[in-house]
Structures are given as C-alpha cells and as structure tokens.
Amino acid sequence: MNISNDVPSAIIRAAVMEHADAQPVLRLNGISKSFGENHVLRDVSLTVHKGETVCLLGPSGCGKSTLLRCVNWLEVPDAGTVHVSSQRMGVREGSSIKMSDAELARSRARIGMVFQHFALWPHLTVLQNVMEAPLHVLGRPREEVREEARRLLERVGLAGKMDAFPSRLSGGQKQRVGIARALAMKPDILLFDEPTSALDPMLVGEVLNVMRSLAQEGATMVIVTHEMEFARQVASRVVFMDAGEVIESAPPERFFSAPQTPRARQFLARFRSPREALGDWSGAPMPA
C-alpha cells in the first residue's frame, strides 16, 4: 500500500463534520459490567456518528476492552443498552427478551471486530479466512464473495498471501488479514481491540497504515489503543477512561494539549518527555 503517515488530522476528520447531525451508528447508554466484586464498567454512555474515528485511551484495566466487547455482546452488560444503527443489540427491542443465537448473529453482522491476538482460523488459508463469514453468516454467493475477498486482500497489501496459512504469516500480516476479514462483512462500524499490542514494534506501522487509510476513507471506527501519536493524528475524538468510567471526551488537539482532569494529565505525562511534563499543559512553548 502507498499510504502517507503525514496526512494532517484535520484533513482526515474533515468529512466527519457533515455527519455530525446524522443518526448515530453506535449508541451506548448507561453500560455497567462487573465480574464478581470487580466493577469494570460504571454507567458508561457513548455515541459514535458515521465517519467518526473514536480512540479509547486509558490505563490498562480501566475497562476499554470490556466496553468494546459489550458492543457486540461478547460480554453481556449488567445494565444499560447498546444500539447499532438504531437497532438494539442482545435484547429484542421493546422487551426484556434476549435475542436467540441466530438473531444475535444477524445483529453482530453489522459490527466488524479486529482482535488483539488475530483470532484467525489456523486450518483455513488467508483467502478462506476472509470468505468464511460472508459465506456462512450472510449466505452470499461463493464466487462473488471470493472476488471481494481478493480485492480486500489487495487493499491491505496481501495479494501475494491469499493461499498461505496463518502459521506462515508475520504478526502484522495476520492482523491485516483480520482487518480484511472484518471489512468483508461490510459492517456499519469497525471495532479494534488493541490491534498492535501483540506485534513486534517493527510491524506496528504496517497495521496502523491500513487503519489510517480506513479513517481517510470515512470508515466509522472505535479503537482501543496505546498508540498515542496515531490517536493524535487520526482520531476525530478521544475518549479517556479510568476505573470503568468515561473521564474526558474531546478532539485530539484539545485532549493532548490541554487535558481537563488530573487523571488525564497524569496518564499523558507517562508519554511525554521530562521537559514537556514540566509544562502547564497550556500548549505554550516551554521557557528556555
């Protein structure tokens, strides 16, 4: 792929503004989740509009990945509601009746998920991994699905790996297959759960480049990440979480230059140089 790493964030986000008043693609209202005595999520609400790239930041264990898994009902919230493209997830609209497995599968088809540890089928080739869900979940024609899968693999720079098995791929290549597989379902929204955390540092860039390209093309994405510079450049909005709560939500320019809460300032100080960390977060130059 030939994707620039230097596209200004304002250009990447320009197309989002026209969608600001549109119906939300994702709406979370009052999501809470506990595992025993561990309260992982506490009354979290979040709205994501078409074309937005929302980066979820926060310390490890703050609930980011659990929140993402609640979106597609891989984790069932203890309280709250999830709507994707105006349709409720997990529970039949207007009732307390849980969806059947078939209903839940149809609802999940609107959501593309890219996992931290790839989750590819080891016994299937790269091409077969991308084709699997459109064939068996959506029931689409095989030749049509095959052609689209080929185009998607070309798009993520893996045209030469279609017949390879996952065991023959690098971590970055596996993650790009995961992205192609998610795109094959033509989802309304893409969820990324720390997609680079399991990668060798030398391979991170090739995955972030694909994600940057998707942002430029106007894909709707929610990304759990520790890649601060990527979030600064690509996000249309940063949501900072701590202790299971949303603490701040702001455009990246404001969040990274002038965080509003002590917890956000403390978190960002870990990623700043000692000279920057002594500043007042006003964005003004440091004195000589």
The tens place of each residue's pLDDT in the chain, 288 residues long, gives: 444 444 444 444 544 444 455 679 999 999 999 999 999 999 999 999 999 999 999 999 999 999 999 999 999 999 999 999 999 999 988 788 999 998 998 899 999 999 988 899 999 999 999 999 999 888 999 999 999 999 999 999 999 999 999 999 999 999 999 999 999 999 999 999 999 988 988 899 999 999 999 999 999 999 999 999 999 999 999 999 999 999 999 999 999 999 999 999 999 998 864 444 444 444 433 333
Report the C-alpha dihedral over residues 162, 163, 164, 166, rounded to 10 degrees.
70
User: Helix (H, G, I), strand (E, B), or coil: what is residue 175?
Assistant: helix
In DSSP notation, 126-155 reads: HHHHHHHHHHHTS---HHHHHHHHHHHHHH
Query: Under 8 Å CB-to-CB from 227, ≥6 apart: which residues?
Result: 196, 204, 208
To the nearest 10 degrees (0 to 180), the angle between helices 204-216 and 171-183 is 20
Take residue 14 and report the two structure tokens written for it: 């320009």
- Neighbour count for residue 37 (Cβ, 10 Å): 5
Query: Under 8 Å CB-to-CB from 24, ≥6 apart: which residues?
Result: 47, 48, 49, 83, 86
As to burial, measured by CB atoms within 10 angstroms (0-12 exposed, 13-18 middle, 19+ buried), residue 159 is exposed
Take residue 199 and report the two structure tokens written for it: 């990668």
Using CA atoms, how far apart are residues 267 and 286, in angstroms rounded to an integer? 20
User: Helix (H, G, I), strand (E, B), or coil: what is residue 277?
Assistant: helix
pLDDT at 94: 78
Paired sense of beta strands 38-48 and 189-193, if any: unpaired
Q: Where are the domains of the chain?
A: 9-110+189-277, 123-186
Angle in degrees, CA 285, 266, 11, rounded to 5: 55
Paired sense of beta strands 87-88 and 79-84, if any: antiparallel
Residue with tokens 């007042």: 280
Amino acid at the residue 62:
C
DSSP secondary structure letter of residue 198: T
pLDDT at 202: 87
Q: Does domain 9-110+189-277 have CATH number 3.40.50.720?
A: no
Check if the beta carbon of residue 112 is closer than 8 Å to that of residue 183: yes
DSSP secondary structure letter of residue 201: G
Check if the beta carbon of residue 184 is closer than 8 Å to that of residue 136: no
In degrees rounded to 5, what are phi and psi of residue 157?
A: 80, 25
